[in-house]
Copies of this chain bind each other. A is one copy, B any other.
Amino acid sequence: MESFSDGVIAVAITLLVLTISVPSIGPGETLVHALLKQWPRYAAYTVSFLTIGIIWINHHAMIGRLQTADYPILILNLLLLMSIAALPFATSLLATFLKEGHGQKTAAAVYSGALLVMSIAFTSLNSLILLRKSHMLKAELSAERRRQILIRNVAGLVPYAVATALAVVSPYVTLAICAAVAIFYALPIASGV
C-alpha cells in the first residue's frame, strides 16, 4: 500500500508542472513580460507542490505507524489518493482564472475547496486508524497522543474552510491563506506541532 500511495503522490506532484505552460508572446510584448504575466501559474504551482509534499510527509508517518492494513483502510486511502490526484486540475483552474475578470472567485473556491476535501479525507483516514484500528498499530499510542494528533489534523481543516468562504471576498486572500498554511507546515516548528 505504501509504495502504491507513494507512486500516486509522486506522479500527482510532478504533473503539477503541466500547470506552467510555455507562454505565447503577444504583439509588442517581450518574453520577459509574457513570463511575468503568468505569475499565478508559478504561485499556484508552488503552493500546490508544497501542500502535496507536506501531505506526503504526514501520509508517510501515518502509514508508517500501521503494521497491516484492512479493507476499509485501503478504500479510504484510495479516496484520499483520488483527492490528491485531482489537485493538478484544481491548480490549473486557479492558475488560469486568478487574474480573469470572470470566474476568479469560483476558481479560488474550487481550489481551496479541493484542498479542504483532501484534508478531510486525510483526517478521516487518520481517525479510522487511530480510533478504530489502533490494534493494527506497530507501537501502542497513548490515548493522549492519539487525541493530540487528531486535534492537529482537525485544526488543519479550519484555514481551508476559511479560505473557501473568503473566495467570495477575494481570490487573492484565498490563495494567500493556502500559501500561508503551506509555509507554516514547512517551518521546522511544524514538525513538533
Contact = CB atoms under 8 A, between A and B. Distances in A.
28 contacts: A1-B60, A3-B6, A4-B9, A4-B10, A4-B56, A6-B7, A7-B7, A7-B10, A10-B10, A10-B11, A11-B14, A13-B81, A15-B15, A15-B17, A20-B86, A20-B89, A22-B96, A30-B103, A31-B102, A31-B106, A49-B78, A50-B78, A53-B81, A57-B71, A57-B74, A71-B190, A71-B191, A78-B186
B56 A86 contact: no
This protein's copies in its complex:
4
A70 interface: yes
Interface of A: 1, 3-4, 6-17, 20-22, 25, 30-32, 34-35, 45-46, 49-50, 53-54, 56-57, 60, 70-72, 74-75, 78, 81-82, 85-86, 88-89, 92-93, 96-97, 102-103, 106-107, 110, 186, 188, 190-191
Contacts of A75: 186, 188
A45 B8 contact: no
Nearest to A88: B17
Those 10 A-B pairs whose CB atoms lie nearest each other, nearest first: A31-B103, A7-B10, A71-B191, A11-B14, A53-B78, A31-B106, A20-B89, A8-B10, A49-B82, A14-B85
Contacts of A30: 102-103, 106
